[in-house]
Amino acid sequence: PDTTFTVRWYLRSSAVFDSAFISRPQTVGVGFFTTDTAANVKIKRWSMARFGDAGVKYYVKHVPTEWQPAFASAFDQWNETFQQSFGRKIFDYEFVPENDARNALLVPGDIRYNIVEWDLVNKATYGGLGPSEGNNYTGEIINANVLIQGPTVMKLYTSWYKVSETAANLRAIGKSEEAAVLLRDFMKASDAKLEPTQLHRLTLNKTKNFVIRAEQPELADPHTQRNDFEEVPQGVDFKTYMNGYFHDMLTHELGHNLGLRHNFRGNMGAKDTGEKGSTSRSIMEYLGRRYRYLDQVGEYDVMAIQYGYAGTAPTHLDWFCTDEDKWAPKTPGSSPECSSDDATSDPYSFFEFRLARTIDYLTARGESYAPVWTQENMKRELNVALNGLLGYASIDVPAAEKITNFFGKSGRPADAKGMSTFVVARVKQQLCDPNLEMVIAGKYDPAAKALTLKQIQGLRETAVKAFADGGVDLGIDINCAPLQPVAASHI
């Protein structure tokens, strides 16, 4: 069937060239969006001269009063960053009251205005989106918007807090099995609601593609980086968490509006103290639920802004990687330290911990009842753990020599040559842990014992296949019996 849609064109009177704006090329060490069609690629950024001390004006729509301070703090932090670096702020912003007639006129996509909108009708699967439009000859940004799927975000995180509180109360009265079932069912229901929508392609005269900003992965940021089995951070109430969450989300999206791309090496500089700003050296990082509410503008972001807006060369060339740089199986040169699924300054330990947690859930370790979580329930988390560890086990030596946060820790190999052997041995140690026999023995009836054994064997089978697909032999079967190499036949 034919698809019909309405196109509205918005125009803004503007000088084509700003004489004070100096185009700037890409450089190693920081990441900016770039021009699409110019012969010489240029990074995209605002002209500070065009707006002077007033800053780039944004209109903020429909944000509930309760969360307006968190949104304001995002603008304020970027203003403080620019003030310290350049002696002037970059943004001006105004919250538009709900009864203001301008609400009907201020529409994202109208190139005359820069808008942050709390979307009242949520159909997208992203949590936030930060698109911008620029002059393809110079790289100057002339318009930007931020779209926040506010009602969907609020529903998801309100439910997460309520379910986590109920689960904690159930465990406190000895009903840990009921708590596990509650958490599992909540995660299953949440996962179903966050299924990605089908991407679209629209062409003009079969030669030019329309740009659909909402479907560009480098711009769209998820409601939650992983809908994993994490419960709420201990001692952090809902309002505190959500203020931190919305600060992180809007600061990140405004970073896109400033021209910045994702930076998946931000957590390499994490201080891991549990304090604000300790989870990453970049607000452009993706972080899971336990970490993102603490994220702030960091050292990388300052370095990137100083290059983009003043031309100051980056002083650290190994602080950045982005969407197309992420580790992928059998991709020579890709690094497991470039991941949108990790956290902390030691990603290898993070992935080991995720695998250990997955085993705990799949076996209901420490409990006498049969496991309630299955591999299907935990497919996302298990894949994160296995792929993360596979990245270290399958890395080639030249790429391993560029790893920054693996070596120098107790028990680890001294150089890149021993990395793969070490990682394979550690994975086998977790999968074939003798204590798993005691976990099975501790179940209350034969059916629970049988299910636990089946879960363990299924996990081993999945791990062996995942590593084999990535070119690494774990050398075990589902019972952890060592596999003998098959001798070559001679005819």
Q: What percent of the chain has pLDDT over 90?
A: 77
Domain count for the chain: 2
Quick check: is 98 in a domain?
A: yes
387 and 309 housed in the same domain: no
437 and 399 housed in the same domain: yes
Residue 109: which residues within 8 A CB-CB, separation 6 or more? 8, 10, 145
pLDDT digits (tens, 9 = 90+) for 229-286: 578 999 999 999 999 999 999 999 999 999 999 999 999 999 999 999 999 999 999 9
298 and 363 housed in the same domain: no
Of the three residues 322, 355, 389, the one that is the final residue of a domain is: 322
The residue range of the domain holding 351 is: 347-469
262 and 351 housed in the same domain: no
351 and 454 housed in the same domain: yes
- The pLDDT of 448-471, averaged and rounded, is 97
User: What letter represents residue 211's amino acid?
Assistant: V
Please say if the pLDDT value at position 209 is more than 60.
no
Q: How confident is the model at residue 488 (pLDDT cuts 50, 70, 90)?
A: very low
Quick check: is 327 in a domain?
A: no
User: What letter represents residue 49's amino acid?
Assistant: A
112 and 170 housed in the same domain: yes
CA 209 to each of CA 133, 202, 311, 338: distance values in angstroms, whole numbers, following the listed order: 16, 6, 33, 30
Could you tell me which residue, 147 or 2, shows the higher pLDDT? 147
Q: What percent of the chain has pLDDT over 70?
A: 88
pLDDT digits (tens, 9 = 90+) for 305-343: 999 999 999 999 999 999 999 999 888 889 999 999 999
pLDDT digits (tens, 9 = 90+) for 165-176: 999 999 999 999
Quick check: is 20 in a domain?
A: no
Quick check: is 478 in a domain?
A: no
Q: CA 292, CA 270: separation in Å to the nearest integer?
A: 12
Decide if 268 contacts 405 (C-beta within 8 A).
yes
227 and 274 housed in the same domain: yes
181 and 221 housed in the same domain: yes
pLDDT value for 230: 76
Please say if the pLDDT value at position 489 is more than 50.
no
Q: How confident is the model at residue 124 (pLDDT cuts 50, 70, 90)?
A: confident
Q: How confident is the model at residue 487 (pLDDT cuts 50, 70, 90)?
A: very low
Quick check: is 200 in a domain?
A: yes
Quick check: is 83 in a domain?
A: yes
232 and 183 housed in the same domain: yes
295 and 210 housed in the same domain: yes
Q: CA 188, CA 225: separation in Å to the nearest integer?
A: 16
Quick check: is 279 in a domain?
A: yes
Q: How confident is the model at residue 34 (pLDDT cuts 50, 70, 90)?
A: very high
What average pLDDT does the structure give for the chain? 90
- Among 12-26, 29-43, 315-329, 400-414, which stretch is predicted with the lowest mean pLDDT? 12-26
pLDDT digits (tens, 9 = 90+) for 11-24: 665 555 677 899 99
90 and 125 housed in the same domain: yes
297 and 401 housed in the same domain: no
Quick check: is 484 in a domain?
A: no
